[in-house]
Structure 1
Amino acid sequence: MFVIKILLGGLHQEVNTFGPGTTTVEDYKRKQYLLGEDMFTFSAEHVRCNEGADGIEGCYKTLMAAGADIVSGGFISAQPGSIIEQSVVDDYIAHLKEVTRANMPYDGVVLFMHGAAQSIGSDDPEGDIIAAVREIVGDDVPITVGLDLHANVTKRMVELSNTISLYQRYPHVDILETGERAARLCLDMIAGKIHPKMAYVQIPMIIAASSYSTETEPFKSLMQKGHDYVAAGKIYDFSVSQMQPWLDVKDGYSSVIAIGEDKDEAARIALEMADELYGMRHAFRTDLTDVDEIIRIAEENKSGKVVVLNDFADSSNAGSAGDSPEVIERILALESDVRGLMYINDNPFALACREAGVGNTVEGMLGATISPNLYTPVKVKAEVKAVFDGVMPYKGMWVDFGPSAVVKIRNTVVLVTTQHRYNGLLELYRAFGYNPADFDMVVVKACTSFRAFYGPLTDLIYPAATKGAATANLTSLPFRKVPKSFYPFSDNDFTPVVNAWGK
C-alpha cells in the first residue's frame, strides 16, 4: 500500500514593529514550542477533544484522515508582540532543515504560519522558512501554506509555494478550517486531482484591523464573491490579505490570491477582487468615541446590556503590551462609580497586590510599565479582592497570564496580570469569578476577533479613542519602510496587475 509522506511545521507570530522590546525564545516557550513528537501530542489531544482551534491541528487532522506519514518539522508560536530576536528564527530554521534532510524524500510539505512576522534580521521570516525547505526538497515537491488573514504575503513566498491559503473570516473563527484547506490542497496535488495555478496581486494599502470585518459590509460581499467563485468551480481556493497594519516592512502589501486549474481564470478573479478591495478603502474606517463619553453612556444605560469599551489600540493580538491605564485614569478623574470590569498587564503592581494579600489595600502607580513612551502611570488605591496563578482553560489548552490579582478601584474591578495574553474572551473574566454581563461596562483590549464572543451578549460596543501601538490612526506612527505612496499615506489611483505566480 502506498503511504504518502508529508512534512508538517511552522512558526506562528504576528509582529507589531512599534511594540516595545523584543520577542524572545522564552515568549515562545510560554505558549507553544513543539518540536518532534511534542507537535503530534499537542495536535492529537486537541483533535480528540474536538475543541482544537489551531491551524496546525487542522493540518494534522486532515493529513491523519488521509493516512499520511507525517514528519514533524516542529511548530512554534508566540503571543503577538514586538520584533522577534533573530536567534529564535535561526534556531527554528536550523531545526527544520535538519529534520527535513534526515527524512527525505517527501511527497509534500504543509506549513502553517501567521505571515506577519518580522525578526531583527529579516522582514520576511516566513519566506526564509519556505525557502529553506524548498532548497532541500526541490521544485517537484508541492509546498502548501496556511496563513492569517492579516499576513504580509510576499512575492517571494508565492514564488516558492504551490498554494497559499489564508483565513477567510474576521473575527478569526475559521483557523482550524484554514489548516484543513492547506492540507487538502497538498493531498489533492499529490493524488494528481488538481494542477493549481496561483495568481497573486499586490495592493498598496494598509487598513487598521479595527476598521472592518468579514461579517459586515463592504468586506462581507467581497469575501462572498470569492466563495461563489469556488462554489461555481471557477477556482479551488481564494484569499484576501489585509496586511497587519502595524508591520513596518519594505516588501509589504495587502493582496489577493486566486488558485485554480485555469491560469487565465485565476488571474481574472484575483485582479477583479483586488480592484474591488482597493475601491473599498474609504469605507474601511473606525468610528471612535471618547473614553469619557463611553463611561457616561455606561453610567446612564438602562438597556440591561453591558457596554463594551473597546480599547483596541492596546490590543494583545495586535502586538501592544496591554499596559495602558488610560481608562482607569479617566474613571478616577471623573470620580465615576460606573460598575466597570477591565484588564491591565502590570507585573510590579500584580506582584505587590499578591504580597499584600486579599482584603488589604495597595497604593501605588498602575500601568505604563512596558510602554512609558505611550502612557503615563496613574496613582491608585486598590483593594485586593483575590489572587490567582493566572492559568485558565480555553478550548482544550491552558492560557497562562502569569501570577495575577483582582483588585477593586472605586467601583471598577481590575484584573492585573504579569503576562499579556489575548483578552477578548468572556472566559477570561469568568475564570476569575466575574461575569461581564453583570457589569455596566467591560473593557476589551482587542481589535475585532472579540466580537465573535461579545456580539451575542451585547450590541453596545464602542471603539474608543485611546492611544496605543495598535492605533487606528496609522498616519501618526513612525513608518520608515512602508512606502508613502500607500493608502492611507497617499490616495492614488491603482490598476492591479498579477505580481507573481505560485510554483
Structure 2
Amino acid sequence: MKLFLAGLLAENNSYSPIPTGLGAFETEGIRRGPASGVDPGGYLSAIETVHRVVSPRGWEVVEGLFAAAVPLGPIRQPVYEQLRDELLDNLRAALPVQAVMLMLHGAMTAEDCLDCEGDLLERARSIVGPEVPIGVELDLHGHVTRSMVQHATLMVAYKAYPHTDIDERAAEVARLTIDTAERRIRPVTAVWDCRMAGSWPTTREPLKSFVGELQALEGRNGVLSVSHAHGFAFGDVPEAGARLWVVTDGDEALATRLAKELGLRLWTLRHALHQPPLGMEAAMRRVAELPPLPGAGPIVVADMADNPGGGARGDSSFALQAVLSFGIPNVALGGLWDPGAVQLCFEAGLGSTLALRVAGKSGPTSGSPVDLRVTVRALAENHEQTAFGAKSPLGASAWVSTAEGIDLVLISRCQQVIGTDLFTGLGIDLRGKHAVVVKSMQHFHAAFAPLARDVLYADSPGLLTADIAALPFHHRDPQFWPRVADPWSGTAP
C-alpha cells in the first residue's frame, strides 16, 4: 500500500505590491524528496510525523514536491504552474497509489487563479480517480472553497493560533486518510459559511474554549473531525471568510446539522471575538506610563500591521517612531527587515558607532525612514530563530543600540518574529527589558508570553491594517461581519 505525500504552501496577500516569484520558494528551500537533503522546516516540518504514523501500518510513503513561500502578493502565474505541474508529475510517477496526502495552506492565489488549492486538488483528483482518498492539511487562515471540498476526501485545519499543532493535525490527516483507504471509515463533509472575517487568537477566550468544544466532539458518535478556518482577510477572493466544517463517518445529515449549529454558535461569539488592537500611539503611551518592574519581564508589543507572516515587509517605522516620540528607554525591537542597513553594519564592524538610516524603505505602508546614531553590538552571518519546531534562517543580521536605550535587531531575510532567539541569539537579555516590540501578529505569543509582564496588540497604517472592513474588494462578497451588521439580510441563516 502506497501513500503519496506532497506539499505546496503560500499565503498570498492581494494588497501586497510585491509578487511571489520562484525565488520566494527557493529561499525557503524546495524539497524534492528525502535525497535532496533539504529540510523544509516550518509548516512542512510534519513530514516526519506522517512517516511515523503511516509506516507502522505497513504503508510505504512516496514523497513528491514540498515547497513553501514567505507571504507576499499573488504568485506569478508561470511559477505557480511550474510548481503545481511538478507536484502533479510526481504523483503520476508514483502511480498506482492507494492514498494521497497534501499539505496546503488554503490562501494560495496566483495572477490568473484565485483558488490555487481548488485547482490543484481538481487536477490531482483527475489523476488518481474517484476512489483514491485525498486527505488535506490546511492552515486555519486558509480559504475553504467548493472546489476544495468537492475534490478532497477530507480536510483538517490547524486548530491553534499561534500554530502549535501542525504536527498533531498532520498525524490526524494521515490516520483518517489511511483509515479511508482501508475502508474503515467513509468521510463526508459539510461546510457552514460563518459570514465573518477576522483573525482570532486561540490563546484568548472565548475562542480557546470554543476550540476545546470542537475537539471534544471528535472521535465520538460518528464525528471524525471538526475544523474552523478563520480565512485570510487580505485575500480578495470570491469564497473568502470564516468557515466551519464537520467530517463524519458516512452521516451527511449529522455533518450538515452540526456544521450549522457550530457555525451559528461561533456567530453568537462574534462581539467577544472582536477585540480591536490599540493604535500604535496608544500602545506606546501605555508602555511609557507603566513604571519599570525589575524581574517582572518585559511588556511585549505586537506590531500587527507590519507582520511578514501576512505579506508585510517587516520594515515599517511607525513603532520605532512612537518609541522615540515617547522617549521610552530599555526597549528591544525586531526583527526589522533592512538588508542595506545590515550590510553597512558589517562594513563598519563590531563595536563601531555610525549614522544609520533604518526602516521605511518598502513603500507608503512602511512609513518614513528613521535616522539614528547606533553602536554595533553583535553581528551574525547566518542568524536564525526557532519557528514551528525548526530553525528558520534570518540571514545576515545585526544588533545595534542607540544612546536612547533602544536595541534593534536588523535582519536580511524577511521573517515574522516567532522565537525569542531572534533577540537572545545575538546576546540581548529580554527579561531585563522594559518592553519588546515584535514584528508579528500572533505567532510570537507561544514563545514570548511566558516571559512577558503583559502583551499588547498594536495597529498602525501598515499593510495588514486591523480595519479589514475598509479594504477595497473586487472579488469577495462585501456582505460580511464586521463590515455589515447582518450579512444574512434577505436570506435565512
Q: TM-score range by the shorter chain?
A: over 0.9
Residues 100, 340 of structure 1: CA spacing in aligned structure 2 closer, same or farther, 3 A cutoff? closer
Match among 167, 176, 192 for residue 176 of structure 1: 167
Match among 273, 294, 297 for residue 286 of structure 2: 294
SS in 1 for 2:384: strand
Task: Look up the match of 1:306.
Answer: 298
Read off the aligned partner of 2:326 and give its amino acid letter. L
Task: Look up the match of 1:19.
Answer: 16
Question: In 2, Cα distance between the equivalents of 1:37 and 1:202?
Answer: 39
- Does residue 473 (structure 1) correspond to residue 467 (structure 2)? The answer is yes
Task: Look up the match of 2:347.
Answer: 355
- Does residue 408 (structure 1) correspond to residue 401 (structure 2)? The answer is yes
- Deviation of 1:397 after TM superposition, in Å, equals 4.2
SS in 2 for 1:401: strand
Question: In 1, Cα distance between the equivalents of 2:330 and 2:63?
Answer: 51
Task: Look up the match of 2:268.
Answer: 279
Match among 60, 74, 87 for residue 69 of structure 1: 60
Match among 34, 37, 45 for residue 37 of structure 1: 34
- Does residue 144 (structure 1) correspond to residue 172 (structure 2)? The answer is no
Task: Look up the match of 2:111.
Answer: 120
- Does residue 325 (structure 1) correspond to residue 317 (structure 2)? The answer is yes
Read off the aligned partner of 2:421 and give its amino acid letter. E
- Does residue 444 (structure 1) correspond to residue 441 (structure 2)? The answer is no
Read off the aligned partner of 1:134 and give its amino acid letter. R
Is the Cα contact below 8 Å between 2:379 and 2:397 reproduced in 1?
Answer: yes
Read off the aligned partner of 2:394 and give its amino acid letter. F
Task: Look up the match of 1:255.
Answer: 243
Q: More displaced, 364-373 or 178-187?
A: 364-373
SS in 2 for 1:389: strand
Query: TM-score normalized by structure 2?
Result: 0.92
SS in 1 for 2:61: strand
Read off the aligned partner of 1:406 and give its amino acid letter. W
Q: More displaced, 310-319 or 152-161?
A: 310-319
Match among 211, 218, 222 for residue 223 of structure 1: 211
Q: More displaced, 32-41 or 472-481?
A: 32-41
Match among 451, 472, 479 for residue 457 of structure 1: 451
Read off the aligned partner of 1:417 and give its amino acid letter. I
User: Which whole-Å deviations, capped at 9, do the CAs of 1:317-369 have from their partners, x for residues lacking one?
Assistant: 22211001222222323333334343311121111111111222222421122
Gaps of at least 5 residues in structure 2 are none
Read off the aligned partner of 1:200 and give its amino acid letter. V
Is the Cα contact below 8 Å between 2:481 and 2:487 reproduced in 1?
Answer: no
SS in 2 for 1:432: coil
- Deviation of 1:139 after TM superposition, in Å, equals 0.8
Question: In 2, Cα distance between the equivalents of 1:38 and 1:369?
Answer: 40
Match among 174, 181, 194 for residue 203 of structure 1: 194
- Deviation of 1:498 after TM superposition, in Å, equals 13
Is the Cα contact below 8 Å between 1:55 and 1:146 reproduced in 2?
Answer: no
Question: In 2, Cα distance between the equivalents of 1:119 and 1:256?
Answer: 25
Question: In 2, Cα distance between the equivalents of 1:38 and 1:153?
Answer: 33
SS in 2 for 1:370: coil
Aligned 1:24-103 pairs, distance under 5 A = 24-38=21-35, 42=39, 54-103=45-94
Read off the aligned partner of 2:231 and give its amino acid letter. M
User: Which whole-Å deviations, capped at 9, do the CAs of 1:477-503 have from their partners, x for residues lacking one?
Assistant: 33332222112221215399999xxxx
- Does residue 267 (structure 1) correspond to residue 253 (structure 2)? The answer is no
- Deviation of 1:196 after TM superposition, in Å, equals 1.3
- Deviation of 1:266 after TM superposition, in Å, equals 1.2
Gaps of at least 5 residues in structure 1 are none
Question: In 2, Cα distance between the equivalents of 1:452 and 1:397?
Answer: 14
SS in 2 for 1:414: strand
Is the Cα contact below 8 Å between 2:219 and 2:225 reproduced in 1?
Answer: no
Question: In 2, Cα distance between the equivalents of 1:240 and 1:419?
Answer: 31
- Deviation of 1:182 after TM superposition, in Å, equals 1.0
Residues 338, 459 of structure 1: CA spacing in aligned structure 2 closer, same or farther, 3 A cutoff? closer
User: Which whole-Å deviations, capped at 9, do the CAs of 1:421-456 have from their partners, x for residues lacking one?
Assistant: 131211211111123112111011222222211221
Read off the aligned partner of 2:27 and give its amino acid letter. R
User: Which whole-Å deviations, capped at 9, do the CAs of 1:18-65 have from their partners, x for residues lacking one?
Assistant: 22311221111111311133478748xx8xxxx998333333332233
What is the total number of aligned residue pairs between the two structures?
487
Match among 137, 153, 173 for residue 162 of structure 1: 153
User: Which whole-Å deviations, capped at 9, do the CAs of 1:58-89 have from their partners, x for residues lacking one?
Assistant: 33332233232222221101122332222221
Q: More displaced, 179-188 or 198-207?
A: 198-207
Is the Cα contact below 8 Å between 1:295 and 1:338 reproduced in 2?
Answer: no
- Deviation of 1:298 after TM superposition, in Å, equals 5.0
SS in 2 for 1:456: helix
Q: Which fold has the larger relative contact order, with Cα–Cα distance below 8 Å and residues 6 or more apart in sequence?
A: 1
Residues 459, 275 of structure 1: CA spacing in aligned structure 2 closer, same or farther, 3 A cutoff? farther
Read off the aligned partner of 1:28 and give its amino acid letter. F
Match among 488, 492, 501 for residue 482 of structure 2: 488
Residues 495, 112 of structure 1: CA spacing in aligned structure 2 closer, same or farther, 3 A cutoff? farther
Read off the aligned partner of 1:349 and give its amino acid letter. A
Read off the aligned partner of 1:280 and give its amino acid letter. L
- Deviation of 1:404 after TM superposition, in Å, equals 1.5
Q: Percent identity?
A: 26
Is the Cα contact below 8 Å between 2:143 and 2:240 reproduced in 1?
Answer: yes
SS in 2 for 1:16: coil
SS in 1 for 2:3: strand
Question: In 2, Cα distance between the equivalents of 1:81 and 1:433?
Answer: 30
CA RMSD in angstroms, aligned pairs only: 2.5
User: Which whole-Å deviations, capped at 9, do the CAs of 1:141-169 have from their partners, x for residues lacking one?
Assistant: 11110001111011100000110000112
SS in 2 for 1:243: coil
- Deviation of 1:302 after TM superposition, in Å, equals 5.6
Aligned 1:313-392 pairs, distance under 5 A = 313-392=305-384
Question: In 1, Cα distance between the equivalents of 2:44 and 2:126?
Answer: 31
